[in-house]
Structure formats: structure tokens, C-alpha cells
Amino acid sequence: MRILSGIQPSGKLHIGNYFGMMKPALELQEQGEAFLFIADYHAMTTVSNADQLRQGVRDVALDFLACGLNPEKTAFYRQSDVPEVTELTWLLSVITPMGLLERCHSYKDKLAKGIAPTHGLFSYPVLMAADILAVQSDIVPVGRDQKQHVEVTRDLAIKFNLAYGETFKVPEPSIRESVAVVPGVDGQKMSKSYNNTIELFAPEKETKKKFMRVVTDSRTLEEPKVPEECNVFALYRLFATDAQREEMAARYRAGGLGYGTVKAAAFELMMETFAPFRKKREELEKNTDYVEEVLRKGAARARDEARRTLKTARRAVGLE
């Protein structure tokens, strides 16, 4: 079973990225043949600063390797190091109905956030389809909000196969139902777009300040509280054991517990959880040649697959 995931280098990775995408992707290393790419082409729809893009790619690579990505089990690569994907994007574009793209909610959502409407932003799902189909993925793990992109990929693969003959494997989405929404410091879903994130590897003092800023309700110290409705508890439970969660929930309901105490406990658990990752990241920062070699080897594996796919597709449409 071949599994593909991708993540944009559009800013510092945060707790929401870790539990929503990174941790599940790392777990998939044990379940099949994994491909994981840093989506720098996709990031260009929102990142226009070259230095920022380069730094973003570097940070994503360091973060994943620090958090346990095994390059022997996962082909880890930059999207832009597999140029076959862009040619495949064109071959898919010529059979992509405009109406299909017009119905994609991601484009509308990004316009609503003030992102400039460009062809790249509009045709984003076709590039994503090329990413998936180039390596003939069986499974694409996504959150429910991204399921539509995989459905578009399936539609395009089927349409191309019907028009030109069997060329692409039709992938299946794997919906991460069990992943809880991680709240940001303002209570909304943690997102770089909302500027409400708690970064994975920010300095300790900065991280603690972020935890202490997490919004809560106005219940007094003495009042019983509802853990299921609390943003701080939602963060605490991500790092706590089952026993720790049950104990903290009981303290919430009993009253006499201040939110500041829970914020401090959540911060300590996060620092404890990420301590070995932080140490590994510091080591990797001193060995960037190794990081580049990992990405180079990952790209070579991905290109082997993409070349075969593209050759088949070019022959199918009459370019060879």
C-alpha cells in the first residue's frame, strides 16, 4: 500500500500541525510505503518572499526529522525537486472541467481570508492531483476539510483513464476522524492564518507566554468547571496520559482549580513531550548536509515513480 502526504512550508509548524498531520503521517511509516513531500509549489500561492519560502522548507524538514521521520521508511522530498509533477499538472489541466474547480470550497475560503485571487490559487486542486497521481498513491490521509481535494483527484484520474486508457491508479482518501480540533490561543482552530499558534520549537519562554494567553471563560477559582468546554483542557489532554486526563477532569468538576494552574501543567507536559525532539532538532541544525541528503534521496525515489507515470501519460495522450 502506497501512502502520500504533503505539508506546506508557509510558516512555523505548530501543535495543530503536529497532532493533525505530522503525528498521523509518522505513524503511517509502519503501515505501508510512505511518500511525504514539502509542498513548496503550493506555498507560493500565499508566500511571495523567497527567503521566507527557503526558510520554511528548511524548518519543515528539520521538524519532521526531529519528530521521528525515518528516511529509510519514508520518501521525504521537496515538491519542486520532482519537476515531472508540473508537466503532469498540464496534462490533467486539459481535461479538468472549469465547473469542478469552481465548486472547490478551498478557493472560496482563501479569498474570504484576503488572499489574492490568482490562477495558481484557483488551479491548486489540479497540482494536488498531480502530486498524488504522479507516485500512483493508493491512500491519501486528509482531514475532513480536505476530502474534496482527493475527490477532485479521483474525478480527474477516472476522466483521464476513460479518455486515454488506464493510466492512473484511483486513490482513496483516508479521513482522520479521530483527530480533535486543536484550539489556538484565541479559542479558534489553531492556524497560521489566525496568528493564534503555539509553535513546536519556539524558545521556552515564548511558548510559556503563549500557553498563559489561551482564552478561558470567566468562572472563578472556586466554581466547578467543565473540562469538555475548556480550551486549556483541550490542549492539556493532547499531552497527558489517560490517568492524568481523568485526574485533571475531576479537579475541574470539583472546583477550586484555577485556569492558570492548568495552563502551567499543559505547558510543562508539552515541554516534556517535545524535549527529545527539541534535542534532535538542535543536532540536525548543525548537520544541514545530512538534511539535504535526505531530501535529495527522497526526491530521487519520488522521481523514479513520477517519470514512469509521466511517460505512460505522455504516450497515452500522443506526446510520444
Catalytic residue among 12, 23, 189, 209: 189
CA gap 262, 26 in Å, rounded: 29
Q: Is there a contact between 134 and 306 (Cβ–Cβ < 8 Å)?
A: yes
Hey, CA dihedral for 87, 92, 94, 99, is it positive or negative? negative
Pair 91, 134: CB distance under 8 Å: no
Interatomic CA distance for residues 256 and 306, integer angstroms: 60
The three-class DSSP label of residue 116 is: coil
Single-letter amino acid, residue 129: A
Whether 159 is catalytic: no
Task: Tell me if residue 113 is catalytic.
Answer: no
Q: Which of 288, 291, 290 has its CA nearest to residue 64?
A: 291
Q: What is the distance between the terminal CA atoms of the chain, rounded to a whole angstrom?
A: 30
Q: How far is CA 224 from CA 13, 179, 219, 276, in A?
A: 34, 27, 8, 36
- Please state, in angstroms and rounded to a whole number, the distance separating the CA atoms of residues 292 and 285: 11
Clarify whether 192 is annotated catalytic: yes
Q: Give the count of beta carbons closer than 10 Å to the beta carbon of residue 85.
A: 26
Handedness of CA 277, 190, 128, 288 (dihedral sign): negative
Neighbours of 232 (CB within 10 A): 26
- Which residues, including other chains, have CB under 8 Å from residue 38's CB and lie 6 or more apart? 6, 7, 8, 9, 57, 60, 61, 76, 77, 78, 79, 295
Residues labelled as active-site residues: 110, 189, 192
